Amino acid sequence: MIPALYIFIAMVVIGVILYVHDRMTSRSEKSEVERVERVEECDSPKSQECDDECCGAHEVCPSEMMLKHMNDPVVYYDDEELDAFKGRAGNEYTPDEVEQWRDVLYTLQHDDLMGWERSVKKRGIVMPEVIKEELISLINA
């Protein structure tokens, strides 16, 4: 009878140890999950709605894309001549200047279109309205 009592006490002690261990590990896992969720909350924008003038060519808002690629260096796509248009509004281009933009646009590969658009924006250049429309149609093609 006494050996059975020792076995019972050992099983209770082992059960308590396993219970405490399980509670401690589940708390640390929960706190890790909560910490990751808090970090993700801080990284994501406060508003889920897009305040930008979305053109429909992007799966996410342009502001989110810009934030994501904000620290990326400016990449030139053999379009250094477009830097001369810095500070111009999108409706102030002459037909010859629009053709200059078109020459650059239609020499780009499809995979480079979004990167080129980001590059132009990062350089402070506003595209002509016609070129924006053509860019959107090329991206969606």
Residues 67 and 107 in one domain: yes
What does each C-alpha distance from 134 to 13, 44, 123 come to in angstroms?
74, 31, 20
Are 34 and 78 in a shared domain?
no
| pTM value > 0.85 | no
Same domain for 69 and 3, yes or no, is no
Task: Write the CA distances from 44 to 40, 54, 120, 141, integer angstroms.
Answer: 6, 18, 25, 30
* pLDDT mean values, one per 10 residues, the chain (141 residues): 88 90 71 49 43 50 55 79 88 91 91 88 89 90 76
In a domain, 49, yes or no: no
Q: Which pLDDT score, from 0 to 100, does residue 17 have?
A: 92
What domain count does the chain have?
2
Is residue 56 assigned to a domain? no
- Decide if 53 is inside a domain: no
Range of the domain at 133: 62-140
Is 51 a member of any domain? no
Do 73 and 132 belong to one domain?
Answer: yes
